[in-house]
Amino acid sequence: MPDLATPAATRAPAPFFTRRTPGGPPGLALFLNAGDPPLPVLKDLVLMLDEEGVDCLELAVPFPDSVTDGPVIRRSARRALDRGGADLDDVLAFIADVRPRLAHLRIALLADWSHSLKHRDLADATRDIAAAGADGLLIHALPPRLRAAHLETAAAAGLPVVTTCYTKSPPATQAQAAAHASAYLYLVAHYGRSGTAPGAGHAALAQTVTDLRAHTDSPIAVGFGVSTRQDVQAVGASGADAAIIGSAAVAAVERAQDAGLDVTEAFRDFVRSVLPAPTA
């Protein structure tokens, strides 16, 4: 590993999303696969997200054949993998390079257990992720038997963790996920693959958000099926602190690349179309 940025444990902690005031706009997180677009283009795109006031980038180390993702994100991961140069070490070097230039944007790293972490020492990998400058970590498909070790190693490294639960998860599961969230709690709005939305709309999640509040002081972010400004506003109406846009963001990158456009500028237009309007 290269010599990376200052370890997270020595950096002043900063929230991913400010707890929203009643009636205020929610924060915004966007998901992208590292390597789609290629990392040099992604660097310009990330700096643009910071300029535009996006709160969080969920940056995934690409992995194949995710059973929880729909076709848009699966195609994106395959493009990144086929290009090469976006394994965990590459992505950490990318974060170490870009993170010092960000004034507002936070980066939550998403890494799949089997593809990126299984063959590494968990404590060493967590320290490397923190040292790179990642602001938080979400491990995809972490075996339940390793959950306690993950929380312990992340705390030791000073690295906040993103936890997840579904709207239909048992109350005890929701409470545990909320209690362990130190970066933010990702509330999955609909059981299924990414890109699918809850039938009753995101605003109907209000009771679930209220129930989760009893178990955490960390922000609550809602994802799955969020693709427009209206969806973001509906997430805000649920009382959640932030909306997470995944498939729609990845699709915007895909369209720009297929059309031969400047990906960063095309994505800027997408960002401006979904950012919640400020309240008076």
Q: Which of 157, 125, 162 is nearest to 242 (CA)?
A: 162
Whether residue 62 contacts residue 82, with contact meaning beta carbons closer than 8 Å, is answered with no
Residue spans of beta strands (DSSP E) within 61-135? 106-112
Cβ atoms within 10 Å of 150's Cβ, excluding its own:
21
Q: Write out pLDDT tens, residues 43-86.
A: 999 999 999 999 999 999 999 999 889 999 999 999 999 999 99
What value does the CA radius of gyration of the chain take, rounded to a whole number of Å? 17
The fold of the 26-274 domain, in CATH, is TIM Barrel (3.20.20)
Give SS3 for 70. Answer: coil
Whether residue 218 contacts residue 3, with contact meaning beta carbons closer than 8 Å, is answered with no
Consecutive H or E run containing 136: strand 136-140
State residue 1's pLDDT score.
41
| Residues catalogued as catalytic | 58, 69
Q: Which of 67-71, 109-113, 135-139, 239-243 has the lowest mean pLDDT?
A: 67-71
Give SS3 for 180. Answer: helix
Domain ranges (residues) in the chain: 26-274
State residue 6's pLDDT score.
38
